[in-house]
Structure 1
Amino acid sequence: MSREVWYAIPSASLDRCRATLPAWRDMGYRVAVLQNRERGDIPADLTVWRDAYPGWAASINELCRNVIPRDAAIVVSGGDDMLPDPNHTAADIADAFFDRFPDGFGVMQPTADTFMNATEYCGSPWLGRAWIDHAYRGNGPLWPAYTHNWADHELRWVAGSLDALWMNDGLAQRHDHFSRSGDAPPPYWSDTVAPADRADVETFIARLWQNFPLHEANGRAIDPDRLRADYPGTAIRYWQTRYGRHHSTSDASTAMTERLADLASRGKRRVLIYGAGTETRLAGDALMAPPVDVVCLIDDDERLRGARLWGFEILSRDHAISINADAVILSCRAATPALEQRAAPFAERGVEVLPLYEPAPAEVVHG
């Protein structure tokens, strides 16, 4: 196998590629770029064009699978705003990598540049050929469902949980992110990355709670107890701060936990949750390992069709009505007459319909 080291990235900026890629080539890396948004000549050995951004993880998977030679020993990734370690050549670092991972099944993240809490994820990882070929059951080195953010967090925790991670504080790959110099976000970030951040972090949290489905590689699988003990809760705190900061998670989580436990105790095994809004988003803790089979979420917002929240598919009421279910939870602060009317067809089919929250005493009507 060739000891070539490739730097492989997606890019939407000709200027940034022209500014940073020569440094990688000077240190002995070959370069492959998946271009989108801006197309033109750049200092790369191989380029491929895509009309739309496939996402950071999916771009790397494609470059590894279809563009970079299959005999390349290591692929390094990151972005067009990163620079190589200035004190060690690609060959020197590759030697150290294979000293640590002789079979090439490993991920190494330089951590000497700690900007943006970079020690918590693998934002510019070194990927060994065996990792590329066997991770995620042979489907690529990264999970491709993220638009941009949080795929690097999943890589850090999957590789770490499989004992295939080296967080190397002896190397620095500087990240010249626009926020480092106080610049405004570039158009691609505002148009593509930022709008997808909430969905990306929720994808990460859902997959974390499900032990990162389909992550297995080389006969290795994550120990769920170890993962839960080791994970510091970064994504959950981030979500609560950025997207749930005006709400308390405790009420929703407690109420959902109690509702699901009650249904389980009464033999109600297949449960639908009606509402993919605030209360369901805040009840993520309760949906981590529910005691019942949460079949799907239901929401009347057409924009959510086919989306997922906490790992559960969001369906329309008309689609969900045909599902064999034992109960439907109305996940909202207070069930309105309109929502109760929307849920009435479930009750007519013999499915128990109940609110997330117990009604306040003043709301109880005694017959």
Structure 2
Amino acid sequence: MGVKVLKPLTAVDPTTVGDFRLVGRLGHGSMGLVYLGYRSTRPVAVKVVRPQLAEDDYFRRRFAQELEAIRRVGGFHTAALVDADPMAATPWIATQYINAPSLLELLEQHGAVSELGAWWLAAGLADALMHVHSVHLLHRDLKPANVLVASDGIRVIDFGISHVSGSTGLTTASAALGTLAYMAPEQAADSRRASEAADVYSLGATLVHAATGHVPFHAHLAMQRTLDIEPDLAGLPPGLVDLVTHALAFDAEDRPTPQSVLETAMGHLLDFGVPTDAQAYPPLPAAFLAEVLERQATPLEITPELVAPVSLTEPVTPPSFVAPQRAEPDPEPDRWAARWRSRIEGRRSDYGG
């Protein structure tokens, strides 16, 4: 367990972008570098197009499309937009900085989540996709590396290859944009064929990785992912098999909708006895939750003139949560749970949505 280390700026990195002072590197995306920056006392993530791409009209259009996607999706399920300048000599986007580990980081450090944790992730991811699709977006690269796990829920990030409805389209039939291990076969064949069902496919693949510790497919070429092959579900809890196999159906029309996934996941969470009448910590394994809480409580980088140092005098200990296995329904269920149960009843096998 440990807090993510901020990499120092190098001699070739800018020290300011727009009104933001940059203090270090957070990482890199498909089109540029991401920095930690400040304009006031609140940290932001500043994504800057690589200099060699800034003169390329194609990448400028891609960057503008990503900006439009972030604007549309808002800040509840992802990092909120703070500022941007797509017309600058080197275009940039500043978004809310969320001090949380990615799902991939947690899986690599601590192994697979429990079945209960997987249902929690399924509910959060389905909820996020419902919102993304409602504003006429496709993510097209949903995977553990693009899912941040915070104490109040997940955030889906990196809309760099998302598709904005109504755009002129920046992909070609030969371009399989996305990550092969999580990619729907029709998207691997032609990125222009990606649909909401392709995002659901990626959700299913992400759940496999989360619940087993390994990816469902191994491929080096896009052509390998266009084949109708069985996913590797070794180690997947039996309770998740039905949902996952439907989400990973070869034919897009056979996959569930995000709404169906959400209702199925919520039904299982209610059956597990997850509290629904108040904000609760995620029902994740103790090691996962401790990592999330430590990251949240510890600043990534202390800047004395801007941020008051935070000292953890006590080790971060996650609150205990012991979920009863298939607990009996509360004799007086809260209204929220009752509403969900009434919507879910009779729909658990309705994977058509």
TM over 0.5: no
Larger Cα-atom Rg: 1
TM-score normalized with structure 2 length:
0.29
TM-score normalized with structure 1 length:
0.28
